[in-house]
Structure 1
Amino acid sequence: MNTALRITVFATALAATFGTAYGVGNAVGTITPQQKGGHTMHHGTSGGHDDMASMPGMTGTPGMRHDAEPGGLEISKDGYTLALNTSQVPAGEKTELSFSVVRDDTGRKVTAYEREHGKELHFIVASRDLTVYRHLHPARAADGTWSTSVDLPRAGGYRVFADFAPKGGESLTLGADLAVAGRYEPTAPPAHSTTAKVDGYEVRLDGTPVAGEPSTLNLTVTKDGRPVRNLQPYLGAYGHLVALRSGDLAYLHVHPTGEPGDGTTTPGPKVSFMVTTPTAGAYRLFFDFQHEGKVRTAAFTVHAGGTTGTHGTGAGEH
């Protein structure tokens, strides 16, 4: 079967797969002793950032917007375009992927960015079936070209998200499609569970999102049956949560309530998030946390505004 046909078969299978919604999710969870010196900047919700700036003790950052749109559904928005230089990569091989953010009015690549959560740009890659997820931090060349290596295990359709704020501008998330060539084999949805396990850790999720309303989700991390009370700051926080809506992969990037060094937030075993899902439906959640010097990702599925069911898996390591 040639590559074009394999991708076509994938797309057909994918459409059938997402005709069925996922149920409620599971989590990763327990937190450890607080480490000082961390700092978290809180995004507005435009472009896929859930806004914490209005909460007590929280402060906004330059260029943040405060509406509640999901991000990543458009390749061009607010005068900027995501130009993906690499549109196809092979499955199961380490490959260099490059892209740039271009100003629509001048056609020039953006070379100046606000630093958010310690980085100028966050880059997410997710498979359309939501079984593969990568949170990457590419390097930028002087001319504005970004590049990163990526190794995607399975063939099929993927979506990439560039999460950034241009210097003096507002936070924005742009998305583009990426094809991964190879033999496509359909993957069954994750098994029902209230917990997610990854690399010897277990994370439990408590709470159910309600569409259009702020909802508290608590993730508790344990290892070998013991609460993890010494989580380490990762990008200025004890955890990060990315939510992707099943079907169109609308993107939300959520940061926890509180931050390392604020005098009240402990490093575990619980990390809390205030999440506002834009619509009812199934969402795949990816929770990044760092412990013993390594970042891990736990994944689970929730259904906003409906009957709760759970599917939890470890989604990999950074």
Structure 2
Amino acid sequence: MIRSVAGPASVVAAAALLAGCSSDDGQVEADHTHAPGQGHTSLAVGDGTRVSEVGYSLAGLQVREQPDGTGELRFRIDDFDGEPVTDYVEELTKELHLYVVNDDLTVFRHLHPTRDDDGTWTATFDVPDAGGYRVVTEFIAVDEGGNGDHVVLGRPLALPPGDPGDTAAEDRAVSVTVSEAPTTGANGELRLVVRDAAGEPVSLGTYLGTWAHVTGFHRETGAMVHLHPLGAPEVTEDGSELTFHAEIPDPGDYRLFVQTRVDGFLHTVPVELTVAPSA
């Protein structure tokens, strides 16, 4: 249950699948409305830098090494009574999204764990280097009133090494560039252009029900932002352009991990972004 509202620094960037609310100054039009049916789900609370938010906690986090050398993460989401949450609303086809990112923002994993009946989540993972990482969970839990509490939790942990060299290096088949950077505030707008290796537009497919997933992290604070396009890409001779409503509270430098499907293959492309304060 959402018992309080976090301050602006804790609000995760979100995007609704709508069109016709953009402008030319890094802002979408004020007072735009999101898609119907969202009135019973709270705004996202948390930015992945805290283990507990509004009564929910990331609990029982364990790392186990599998016989094949891969790792396994196990954890629970506990409610304000300390009981495991077992009732969730699917968001983008999944009950919970799990992100694993290292402190240098060179390794990124977007995972979809499975849940046991007792509320324990399990995910297999592999990372190239041992060291400091952060585990971030994003979910919508159903409260006692039947409404959805959208929450983002995270905590640091040390992980063992895995497959060497598997980092978020530049993708040789797909490139993503920023054509318009957002400013801070509720009405920011981000535009990204996707091209192939020859600099030509690409035909984008969907991934988890949307045209792209953008997960970004503030380089100083580690705060996470999570964005999805407002609609289908606009294809021109310059590339395939996606527009995002970017509600980013804090200015600064971010590293984005853009996940998009091209020719049936999922690509994860790191992109640097600087968010300026709004005027």
- Do these two structures clear the TM 0.5 threshold for a shared fold by scoring above it? yes
Which of 258, 264, 277 is the equivalent residue of 1:287?
Answer: 258
What residue number does 1:296 align with?
267
Preserved contact between residue 285 and residue 302 of structure 1 (Cα < 8 Å)? yes
Write out aligned runs for 1:11-50 (5 A): 48-50=12-14
- Distance between the aligned counterparts of 1:60 and 1:283, measured in 2? 31
- Distance between the aligned counterparts of 1:171 and 1:111, measured in 2? 14
Note the C-alpha offset of 1:126.
0.7
Q: Does 1:100 align with 2:76?
A: yes
Query: How many residues align structurally?
Result: 242
- Distance between the aligned counterparts of 2:151 and 2:130, measured in 1? 28
Q: Which has the higher contact order (CA 8 A, sep 6+)?
A: 1
Write out aligned runs for 1:240-259 (5 A): 240-258=213-231
- Distance between the aligned counterparts of 1:267 and 1:220, measured in 2? 9
Task: Calculate the TM-score normalised by the size of structure 2.
Answer: 0.77
Which of 249, 253, 263 is the equivalent residue of 1:278?
Answer: 249
Q: Show structure 1 runs of 5+ residues with no match.
A: 1-44, 184-189, 191-195, 259-264, 307-318
- Overall identity of the aligned pairs, in %: 32
Secondary structure of the residue aligned to 1:214 is strand
Preserved contact between residue 178 and residue 273 of structure 2 (Cα < 8 Å)? no
* Greater strand fraction, Structure 1 or Structure 2: 2
- Distance between the aligned counterparts of 1:156 and 1:211, measured in 2? 32
* Greater helix fraction, Structure 1 or Structure 2: 1
Q: Show structure 2 runs of 5+ residues with no match.
A: 1-7, 18-30, 163-167
Note the C-alpha offset of 1:240.
1.2
Secondary structure of the residue aligned to 1:198 is coil
Preserved contact between residue 77 and residue 119 of structure 2 (Cα < 8 Å)? yes
- Matched AA of 2:132: G
Q: Does 1:137 align with 2:112?
A: yes
Change (3 A) 1:157 1:84: farther
Q: CA RMSD in A?
A: 2.9
What residue number does 1:157 align with?
132
Change (3 A) 1:212 1:155: same
Preserved contact between residue 49 and residue 70 of structure 1 (Cα < 8 Å)? no
Secondary structure of the residue aligned to 1:279 is coil
- Matched AA of 1:289: T
Note the alpha carbon deviations across 1:172-211, whole angstroms, 9 max, x for none: 001111202469xxxxxx9xxxxx9414112222112323
Change (3 A) 1:89 1:301: farther
- Matched AA of 1:246: R
Q: Which runs of 4+ in 1 moved over 4 A?
A: 87-90
